[in-house]
Amino acid sequence: MTRLLISVASADEALIALQGGADIIDGKDAAAGPLAALPTETLRAIVAVVGGQRPVSATVGDWPADPAVLQAAASRIAATGVDWVKVGFYPGGDWQACLDALAPLARQVPLIGLLFADRTAEPQRHVAAFAKAGFAGVMVDTADKLSGSLRRHLDDDTLARFVAESAEHRMMCGLAGSLTLQDVAALSATSAEVLGFRGAACRGGARAGSLDPARLAALREAVGTSLVTATS
């Protein structure tokens, strides 16, 4: 089943996303960077307003692949009470050392590893390592929001292989990265469990703007319609 993830920057936006039918509420400071973390007090407010009605995920920030830095950032976000903690892996550094450092936390809270379509050509090659470290899931996003959407950097066949590899390792799999309403049908057909949106759900299509209930409703309908089409 494909689920709709909506990124929010405040408790007020979390309530709009919740009322608009989002399946997952994702805390992220989209105006500050691709994975910029929200203040911990804001995340706690989001968790409180959602009240367990939907899973809440949150990004840990845009950090280099440094084991100590990522472990500390992920632990800080996990302490806010979110359900999933999303950790981005940028090129460079020692990814295996980072996974080893995060493995103990992965036994306490579901961790989601984020790869970047404009930085990693074959994301499916890394899925097994995340699974071995105990991560609950993986996602592909984009780092440079001015360089085009997910599907500009990776074709649908590559994304489908990423989804299939994730399923092989029994991991949740999500796709995001400047997605639009027009991307929903093709990406739902890959059987991705989660499709993530920010800009497409905001007024004027700007990720730094405020959530637009009408745009959110259109995404909710499209994901539902595409799910029926993809599974029929």
Q: How confident is the model at residue 228 (pLDDT cuts 50, 70, 90)?
A: very low
Active-site annotation holds for 145: no
The three-state (H, E, C) secondary structure of 40-63, written as one string = HHHHHHHHHHHCCCCCEEEECCCC
Active-site annotation holds for 132: no
Q: What is the pTM of this model?
A: 0.94
Share of the chain above pLDDT 70, in %: 97
- For 93, the domain range is 3-231
CATH classification at residue 23: 3.20.20.380
Of the candidates 86, 126, 161, 215, the residue annotated as catalytic is: 86
- Give the pLDDT confidence of 110-137 residue by residue, as tens digits: 999 999 999 998 999 999 999 999 999 9
Three-state DSSP state, 6:
strand
Supply the pLDDT for residue 70: 98
Supply the pLDDT for residue 204: 84
Share of the chain above pLDDT 90, in %: 87
- The DSSP code for 169 is T
Supply the pLDDT for residue 225: 59
Task: Pick the range with the lowest mean pLDDT from 57-61, 83-87, 182-186, 203-207.
Answer: 203-207
CA separation for the pair 14, 25 (Å, rounded): 6
Structural domain count, the chain: 1
- Give the pLDDT confidence of 140-197 residue by residue, as tens digits: 999 988 788 999 999 999 999 999 999 999 999 999 999 999 999 999 999 999 999 9
Average pLDDT over residues 15-42: 94
CA separation for the pair 174, 48 (Å, rounded): 25
CA separation for the pair 111, 156 (Å, rounded): 25
Q: How confident is the model at residue 232 (pLDDT cuts 50, 70, 90)?
A: very low
A 10 A CB-CB count for 27 gives 30
Average pLDDT over residues 17-42: 94
Average pLDDT over residues 1-18: 95
Of the candidates 6, 27, 28, 201, the residue annotated as catalytic is: 28
Supply the pLDDT for residue 229: 40
List helix spans (H) across the chain: 11-19, 40-50, 67-78, 95-106, 127-132, 150-153, 156-168, 184-188, 213-231
